[in-house]
Amino acid sequence: MVTTVALEHIEILPGQRLCLHYIDWDKFEEILEALGDRRTSRIAYYQHTLEIRMPLPEHERIKCLLSYLLVELLDYLGMEWESLGSTTYKKRKDLAGIEPDDCFYIQNYRSAVGMLRVDLDRDPPPDLAIEVDLTSKTQISAYLAIGVPEIWRWERSQLQIYILQNGTYQESQTSRIFPHIPVISLFSDFLNRHMNLPMSQIRRNFRQYLPTALAEGGAN
């Protein structure tokens, strides 16, 4: 006997996740529509398995801090950018879908300006995705299918960088976007020293810190 439970009857608490197996593409699309756009949960879908995650407040805070610091760095360097946040990226032919914690178009920022809907048959994926792994792991397979060139992953108080090379993600000590800046130590060390401060102050402190840090560590 098969039991069906409506999504509105399922509660996912912060820090928890729900995995649904044997979900075909049409059902995946139905679930996305039922979940709606105004939600705090994130989804990852790959090869008939759908994961729905409900982030903790700690997760959201770190995600925002990483994004704020990245924006400060981009602005300091005079680089153009667009962020599409946790937009849903889908690729039917690969049975893949992902919602990043945050994502940025940098080299391809012009493609994202004014973008209302993402069609990966026509539009490029984001140049950079940010993921915070506290209670679950980033769905690398979905990112691989989508073709995001670079992933920044925060785990255990440390930034990790993964670069898409030859059809797989390789952990890297340098960023493809900022090849001459020690991004890992710059972000990790700064955040770990200032994590207990208000977010607004962390952002201001980083803005003031950047000229000295880049003069010592090199710049683009």
For the chain, what is the mean pLDDT? 91
Whether residue 21 is contained in a domain is answered as no
Whether residue 168 is contained in a domain is answered as yes
Whether residue 190 is contained in a domain is answered as yes
Whether residue 172 is contained in a domain is answered as yes
CA–CA separation, 78 vs 56, rounded Å? 33
Laid out side by side, the sheet with 150-155 consists of 82-83, 102-105, 128-132, 150-155, 158-165, 168-172
Structure tokens of 186?
């710059």
pLDDT band at 2 (very low <50, low <70, confident <90, very high): very low
Whether residue 23 is contained in a domain is answered as no
> pTM for the complete prediction?
0.90
CA–CA separation, 108 vs 112, rounded Å? 7
Q: Find the domain containing 148 and state its range.
A: 57-217
% of the chain residues with pLDDT over 70: 91
Whether residue 181 is contained in a domain is answered as yes
pLDDT band at 27 (very low <50, low <70, confident <90, very high): very high
Query: What local confidence, expressed as pLDDT, does residue 77 receive?
Result: 97
**Which residue in 5, 9, 10, 51 sits closest to 28, CA to CA?**
51
Mean pLDDT of 191-217: 94
DSSP state letter for 56: -
Whether residue 3 is contained in a domain is answered as no
CA–CA separation, 166 vs 111, rounded Å? 24
* pLDDT tens-digit readout, 115-157: 989 999 999 999 999 999 976 678 899 999 999 999 999 999 9
Whether residue 175 is contained in a domain is answered as yes
What distances in angstroms separate CA 25 from CA 8, 38, 41, 93, 116, one per listed residue?
20, 22, 19, 10, 22
Element (H, E) at 67: helix 57-76
CA–CA separation, 15 vs 27, rounded Å? 25
* pLDDT tens-digit readout, 66-107: 999 999 999 999 999 999 999 999 999 999 999 999 999 999
Domain CATH code at residue 179: 3.90.1570
DSSP state letter for 126: P
CA–CA separation, 107 vs 118, rounded Å? 17
**Which residue in 71, 55, 12, 90 sits closest to 204, CA to CA?**
71
Q: How many domains, the chain? A: 1
